[in-house]
Amino acid sequence: MSNGAHTPRARRILITGGDGFLGRGLVAALAQRPDTDAIVALDVREVPAERRQPGVAYRVQDVRNPALADTLREHAIDTVVHLASIVTPGRDSSRAFEYDVDVNGTRNVLAACVAQGVRHVVVSSSGAAYGYHADNPDWLTEAHPLRGNQSFAYAHHKRLVEEMLAQWRMDHPQLAQTVLRIGTILGERVDNQITALFEKPRLLAVRGSDSPFVFIWDQDVAGAVLHALNGAPPGCYNLAGDGALSIHQIAARLGKRTRNLPAGLLTAALAVGSRLGLTRYGPEQLDFLRYRPVLLNTALKRDFGYTPRKTSAQALDGFILARAQQGRPVHVGALPGPQAPHQVKA
């Protein structure tokens, strides 16, 4: 979903969420990028000296702070990469706080960009913005509606952010937008809700559902952002590796078996566990597993001009290998040979 135009090469760049997982990798890559006149990394916490990159200006600032506009002006920023969001809330978090950071924080970033004449904003969205629905098509393209479920804070907030971005594209066309709808991220040091599932002795599978996953290697996320900063056409793009893997194929690559349970039993167990405080997840969590949004990356390759270096299967294999090398293997037995992921004509 490109507008066909190109943006000038970014030279003075500010990154929100600069010390988050994606932010650290991107800042490190930008520090090696030629012809970059300024790199400003914002985070809500002080970045320890051992994690700082030479030539990068580090600032402690919340994305909700109106003073963000002053920071943009001070450093004459021409491009903002907005990565700050709450992916995995802490136990003391609240829905109101997550909305404030994700939605109101993005609104403040956009307002600051327009006020200071920033010409390009790159936003990390998510495939979760499409939502987890039984009638999701086998492959989602950028033309499909965004239906992030209200029952999932992250998916709902990403949908609201994207609706806001669409309105700002109409009201402020001078601010070019590149919106990356990112699939499930894997990397050498990724730990998240999905990788926790893979660490179980047996993988949970909902009977009658393939639960397909699309993966993107973390370095490919940084690569796509760098591509946007180098003048690629702005627009909205699915960011995922080629192909998808079902939960059963993932289990096979891990050398594990699946625990296949009926949806009704899982729904009842989650409902009871939630009421008793034994789990933070309610019965709606079942949809997160069985109705995965599967992202087609045709526009990413054809219109944006970026092809991920790793397919979904290669990203999973890279994750498995990295964990083994770190002495914390997630697979049992030898790594299986290549197995065909779900194929699609791109």
Q: Find the range with the poorest average confidence among 145-154, 166-175, 279-288, 302-311.
A: 279-288
User: What are φ and ψ of residue 245, in 5° steps?
Assistant: -125, 130
pLDDT confidence tier of residue 4, bands split at 50, 70 and 90: low
DSSP codes, 22-33 = HHHHHHHHHHT-
Q: DSSP letter at 238?
A: E
Please return the burial class of 340, using the count of CB atoms within 10 Å of its CB with bins 0-12, 13-18 and 19+. exposed
Name the one residue in this structure whose structure tokens are 């956009």. 110
Higher pLDDT, 339 or 30: 30
Taking the C-alpha atoms of residue 110 and residue 31, their distance in angstroms, rounded to an integer, is 25
pTM of the model: 0.91
Q: Token digits for 122? A: 């790159």
Query: Which CATH code of 3.40.50.720, 3.30.365.10, 3.40.50.300, 3.20.20.70 fits the domain covering 12-184+216-241+296-309?
Result: 3.40.50.720
Q: According to the model, what pLDDT value does residue 337 have?
A: 43
3-state secondary structure of 120: strand
Average pLDDT over residues 114-119: 98
Q: Please classify residue 273 by burial: count the beta carbons closer than 10 Å to its beta carbon, then call 0-12 exposed, 13-18 middle and 19+ buried.
A: middle
Residue 233 pLDDT > 70: yes
Question: Quick one: which of 288, 295, 287, 201 has its CA closest to 245?
Answer: 295
Mean pLDDT of 106-131: 98
Is 37 a residue whose pLDDT tops 80?
yes
Of the pLDDT bands very low, low, confident and very high (cuts 50, 70, 90), residue 90 is confident
DSSP notation for 167-224 = HHHHH-TTSEEEEEEE-EEE-TT--SHHHHHHTSSSEEEETT----B-EEEHHHHHHH
- 168-202 pLDDT, tens per residue? 999 999 999 999 999 999 999 998 888 988 998 99
Mean per-residue pLDDT, 74-82: 98
Measured CA to CA in angstroms, residue 233 lies from 60, 121, 258 at distances of 31, 12, 42
The predicted model gives 9-27 an average pLDDT of: 96
